[in-house]
Amino acid sequence: MTRKKILKLCIVAALLDFLIGCGKTTEVTTKHVGILKDPQTLSLQDVASSQLAPLSLGEANYLLLASETRGLVLIGEDGSEIAALDGGSVERFALQARGGGHWLVAAYDEDSGKIQLRGLEPDAQGRPRFQFLGDMAVDAPQAALCFSRQKDRIHLFAIDESGLGREYLLLPRASSWGFSEVRPLYFGEQVSSCAVDNARGKLLVAQPPLGIWRLNADAERDEAREVFVAPDRQGADFGGLWVDAAAGHLWVAAESGVWAYDLRRPLSEPLFSRSLDGVAPVSVAVAGGKLLALEEESNAVLRFAVPLPEPVAEIQAFRGAVSMPHVAARAQTAPVASGGDAADDPAIWVNPRNTEESRILGTDKKRGLNVYDLNGKLLQALPVGRVNNVDLRPLDHARFAALAAASNRTTPGVSLFGITADGEVESLGLREMDLADPYGLCLSRKDGGLFVWMSDKQGDLHLAEIRLGENPLQWQLLPRARQPLAGLVEGCVADDERGQLFYAEEDRGIWRLDIDAFVAGEGQPQLVARVDGDKLVDDIEGMALYLNGDSSYLVVSSQGNNSYALFSRDGSEFVGRFRVDINPELGIDGVSETDGLEVTSAALGADYPQGVLVVQDGRNRLPSAAQNFKLISWTEIADALALQ
């Protein structure tokens, strides 16, 4: 082992010490409760297997084995061979039930350097057979493979020998299944196995001698990586993870023996701990009430009759996946140029002459303002500084069809933009405001006047008037009023027709303000919808109004649970909520961590006959890229929520 690799392992081990308890040493404690002896042996012929997994087809039970000489081998309960590929070299595979008594197998074949997908199902005579479904060449040998079922989709996690992992969405096709990369995952060297706890939506990864990691399997959630089993449990050489979903157990094969843990409880005491007399297992499972074990490159399955741990008392479904309606995006914009948390807030300009030529304005809060068409193509990038939020209003003007304003944090103030009838956006400069850190922004209109509301991240909500002169570059910004804020506010939207302003206090709820009364010094904001951990989960971010007569709604980003809440137009009544999920056919990922959003009820062509909702995507996946904006047809939202 090189000095560099040793140093890397020492650093990670030190971090693990910190994660599982400051000052705690990582002495190896592999004490077992008993030794298992005298197993029943199922002898195999020319298999050289290092992984097994039980499965059922029809009323019969089988064992699937990886084979370094014959690819994959299926045997019966008595050890008789049922089916085999008789070609290829496989050490690792993943197995997933597909329903209807069929199974899906992913295996890394060392001879071809490919991950191969196969179906396992009965033939016309009821005998199990392998069916080739597709494959994908990979750059490095794969150390771990495991499936994840997410809603009605199957995902595959593949981690190579360098520790670089990738999540793939599998796309069933008549000719050949496809692999669409969702995101990369980084672990470092010496990963030996992975498994997925679908009940809780967790990916488990064994990385000896560092321990077993647990993290969220859903790419639209925070990774939330944690130590599930500390490195002082199994010793320095372990792997062979297998999930007993029915019992709620994680089984671990180690050089020192076999362990089982409660899948609900990280860093808990093992439910089962046995050494195997003279055996160093690399793969274990439970079938028919017995413990099954394999040694490395073995030609024998060992079956132990031993009391097994009872199923956990309570097997809870993954609470993060609260059932709610889902919709999918029809389009997405090109990623912003800046990395990290950069895309923030969109605005929609409806082209009155040709609505299909409308524009989306989106902020890159590290660089400037972007302009996109309805297909998401980047048309303009205006490098005006760190603009955070943007809003616009139509304008009756000789040169411009609309004005857009954005909060600018490079030089604290408001950046103004003119939008021509052809959809070209021109920068009209910046006017400074006496704010420590400009944050949220929205516009309102009253009697032909244009007003801007802007929050200070370290202060209040400010109202100013924008006055456009004969020369558009010589506009004025005139302070008018100030509303004290108790908490942080970014999202806001004005209902010009009713003279109301809505703003979101991120950890408290939605406030409504009568604008005329406020300007007259008489109005006070009302809290119309509270953060309750259910309908609204903090942070509360973007807000917009879908205006269409009696079918008008306030749309709010409930960032804490990656959803969008609809309220009545006045904000007083909750109507429903939804999430934006993957669109596999178009290769567009779901949406999470949304900051800003905008919506219009204008018909924008065949894809958006009832309007469009545009939302910022905090995690741009499929594949991973810089943040962007997603476009969702309002028709799909109305159908999902059964709106009138």
The verdict on residue 509 lying in a domain is yes
Query: What are the percentages of helix, strand and coil residues in the chain, rounded to 5?
Result: 5, 50, 45
| Residue 460 pLDDT greater than 90, yes or no | yes
pLDDT at 59: 87
Tally the domains of the chain: 2
Q: How confident is residue 126, by pLDDT bands cut at 50, 70 and 90?
A: confident
The verdict on residue 10 lying in a domain is no
Tens digits of per-residue pLDDT, 64-99? 999 999 999 999 999 999 999 989 999 999 999 998
The verdict on residue 11 lying in a domain is no
Give yes or no: residues 396 and 458 share one domain: yes
The domain containing residue 145 runs over which residues?
Answer: 34-304
Average pLDDT on 589-599 reads 97
Give yes or no: residues 570 and 491 share one domain: yes
Give yes or no: residues 270 and 341 share one domain: no
Q: How confident is residue 120, by pLDDT bands cut at 50, 70 and 90?
A: very high
Q: pTM for the whole thing?
A: 0.90
Tens digits of per-residue pLDDT, 203-227? 999 999 899 999 999 999 999 999 9
The verdict on residue 29 lying in a domain is no
| Nearest C-alpha neighbor of 590 from the set 624, 619, 626, 561 | 619
Give yes or no: residues 447 and 555 share one domain: yes
Q: How confident is residue 3, by pLDDT bands cut at 50, 70 and 90?
A: very low
**More confident site: 321 or 615:** 615
419: helix, strand or coil: strand
Give yes or no: residues 278 and 352 share one domain: no
Average pLDDT on 533-552 reads 96
Using the 3D structure, point to which of 243, 271, 304 is the last residue of a domain: 304
Tens digits of per-residue pLDDT, 156-183? 999 999 999 999 999 999 889 999 999 9
The verdict on residue 346 lying in a domain is yes
DSSP state at residue 524: -
The verdict on residue 317 lying in a domain is no
Q: How confident is residue 313, by pLDDT bands cut at 50, 70 and 90?
A: confident
pLDDT at 82: 95
On whether the CB atoms of residues 487 and 540 are closer than 8 A, the answer is no
Cis ω for the linkage preceding 209 (within 30 of 0): yes
| Residue 615 pLDDT greater than 90, yes or no | yes
Q: How confident is residue 31, by pLDDT bands cut at 50, 70 and 90?
A: low
Give yes or no: residues 398 and 300 share one domain: no
The verdict on residue 417 lying in a domain is yes
> How large a percentage of the chain has pLDDT more than 70?
93
Give yes or no: residues 556 and 588 share one domain: yes
pLDDT at 125: 86
The verdict on residue 23 lying in a domain is no
Tens digits of per-residue pLDDT, 410-441? 999 999 999 999 999 999 999 999 999 999 99
Q: How many CB atoms lie within 10 A of CB 438?
A: 27
To which residue do tokens 């990586």 refer?
225
Give yes or no: residues 335 and 259 share one domain: no
CA 297 to chain centre: 37
Assign residue 54 the CATH number of its domain: 2.120.10.30
Give yes or no: residues 343 and 276 share one domain: no
Q: How confident is residue 187, by pLDDT bands cut at 50, 70 and 90?
A: very high
Give yes or no: residues 348 and 434 share one domain: yes
Give yes or no: residues 218 and 283 share one domain: yes
With residue 9 as reference, give the H or E element that holds it.
Answer: helix 3-20
Average pLDDT, the chain: 93
Give yes or no: residues 190 and 290 share one domain: yes
